[in-house]
Structure 1
Amino acid sequence: MGDVTTTTSTTISQPSTLSGHALVTLDKIDTSNTAGFVKTVIGGTSLATLLLGIRSAWKHSRQPEAADLAAAQLFSGAAFAGKALGVATVITVSGFTLLIVGVSALLQVNTPRQFGAAMKTAHLRSLLKVSKRRRVSLKRSRKTGGNCQKIEKNQVLQRLLNPSSSSLHQHNKMLPLLLLIFILFFVILLFFAVRSYPIPLLPQSRILLLIAHPDDETMFFSPTIRALTHAGHRVFILSVSNGNFDGLGEIRARELSRAASKLGISSSDVICLDYDEFRDGDTWNRNALCQIVMRHVEVLSADTVISFDSYGVSGHHNHSSCFDALQTAYSNGGVPRDVQIFVLDSIPLWRKYIGMWDALFSFGRSPFFYMARFRDVAACWRAMWAHRSQFVWFRALFIVFSRYVYMNSLRRISPLPLTPSAPRNSQKFKFH
């Protein structure tokens, strides 16, 4: 009876042992899957929180809306500072959490202890590689019959005096990556740090943008257009010619309407002239152009005109003619007293194609400055693609490297009167 009992207990204990191993294995699998799921959830949440924090910081670092200013008056300075501190805390915590989750996923670890063990293992592997390399070099030196101790001393002295070629090679590999990280960080810092200084306008102003050819609005004025339309102003585009130099005038006029819609301007607010006196590339009569521009200012009830300066950004004489017409109207007293005239600054050639890096040289030099946002740059690229008849390879480079895609600096050539007396608008201008 005792033998039977022993045999029975043995047969029962074996399955229990196997089932225990099976349970342990299942627990390990479940733990691994759970850790991966948790890291995915935490990483996604941290990324979403980081993006929301950046968006909030971006919104409050740009020119505030009128509604935001009205709401801000309800809070004290301490509350406003607390909100800014909260946004900064959210960005810092979420960014650090995302970094930790990314490193842990890369190392395939789930706990701080595993992380430390992984780092120790990586360090030991590097030490083993170095020691193995030394042993190989010593064996080679023994085979050649040299003095091992002298060779080792010389190697130590050489390492002290000059860095090893392997370390230099590793540093050379890391240098492009570090340079790329620095450039990206500096670009993001520029986008967040540089603020716009808009031109002084009444709420819901009517602005006339005077250009020489279709595509000038996209290539040179897109940051200003996007900022004005986003602020609730109505922008009209008056193109003096339709760019019919190659016989594509009608096509380019339609492209101008499509590009304007990409920038936030209604196609009904786009005017493209086709007069024999103002052919693309010809010399334009400033007095005739002056009369046409002032007539459109009156018909459209525009209170602001924006155009090129005397050089015309690119040196094109049609661009300069737009400025000459406005300057003639102002000098002859043809500009209403309640109308402001602003011109786009021309800059040296070496600054024109350094992209947003020109913010280091432009910021603070002009009284009025517009810095494009990420979505403004994307809108400019879409608008430039609308000018398909003119989209050649060098224009693709232009919209990537031109500073006029990222920023505009303007100056006023028509001083604002202290007491505007024009009959259509007797209200004083408010400076923001």
Structure 2
Amino acid sequence: MFFLGFSAGLPLLLVFSTLTAWLRDYGVSRTAIGFFAWVGITFSIKVLWAPIIDHLRLPSLIAGLGKRRSWMLVSQLGVALGLVGMASVNPQLALTEVALLALWVAFCSASQDVAIDAYRIEAMDENYQGAMAANYVFGYRVAMLVAGAGALYIADIASWSVAYLSMAALMGIGVITTLMIAEPNHPRVNGEAEELQNMWVERLLGQGQHSRLKEWFIRAVACPFIEFFQRNGRFALVLLIFIGIFRLSDIAMGIMANPFYLDLGFTKTEIAEISKVFGFFCTVLGSFLGGIFVVRYGIARPLILGAVMVACTNLLFAQLALIGPDKTWLALVISADNISGGIANAVLIAYLSSLANKAYTATQYALFSSLMTLPGKFISGFSGIVVDAQGYAQFFIYAALMGLPAILLSIYLWRREKREWVGEEPQPG
């Protein structure tokens, strides 16, 4: 799981913050760089094709690997080929080709995420899922360090083409791992879930013979969403809105981080050392603290803390924009940003896991994780326009204000949970 986590985490920054540093280094406008954030929407809509990966077996030679491993292998090879293509293109001469290749890498990477999540859930029983997830996350974070700091170091010493070719070669770690592991057993749908599926197939298609495609769509795609809304009622809409806006402030500013550092006057090596390496350990610390807070205080109150911290750190970025290239201030801002992001992300993952029905864990979790990033990715596409028009300081203030709805909804969820807990308490006498 560590090596599969590494394979899953490596492509993310190569089509996000590392890519923006490359584009800015080649003189691409901030407005154009902002639109590249929409490449990340691919990760936010993977739920659309997750049921296909979950149920469809690939044909031909790789079919012998099994359903999970074959999808993982195809996705990993697709990522590697896309990175090789990006390494061979000059953004100054062919920006559209860079965007299309980045989109391809993001699509293959998101597909790999779906396949690995399904493998992780099926490969081991519930008692080992915590260890599986922990190793996966650790590998993912190490890969982000390599794709962030590592790629910047290589680009500074050699070139961006060499950096991306090196990252393509490192995808071989995932390929080798996929070829070495065993295909897991695929559990059958449990009785409760099957009963729900049969009811909706009969209700929507009637009795008798049905189109296999229509029946598959209802069972694999529609029923996980139907179950979620049946279980939560109208409150399901509040939950989905909350999931969509919780990381809005954080994601909206992320696309402009590396261009911001470069425009302030920091070198790529300084960015790698402070933002990536130092930031990596701060993120790990934040994730560790988030886990402790959930165990000690439950989920609701740490959600409020995470939402407040993420919004406030954007104000520190605004202050850094006014101060200039001060490495001490950069370290302070990075530590605050990564610790708060680590806390918020760890608590949110715990919250999303608590919302998923185990009968539909893969599809419902894909829905939550997709929705978690979609609004932020869309809005961040306009970030370059705001920076060009009003400057970095004003942009980061706007990003901080975007965090206010998440803070208010976090407080609402905490108060609602508190009312439900009081209502369940036995009354005296």
**Which TM bucket (shorter chain)?**
under 0.3
Q: Which has the larger radius of gyration?
A: 1
Richer in helix (by share)? 2
User: TM-score, length-normalised on structure 1?
Assistant: 0.22
User: TM-score, length-normalised on structure 2?
Assistant: 0.22
Richer in strand (by share)? 1
Of structures 1 and 2, the one with the larger relative CO (CA 8 A, separation 6+) is 2
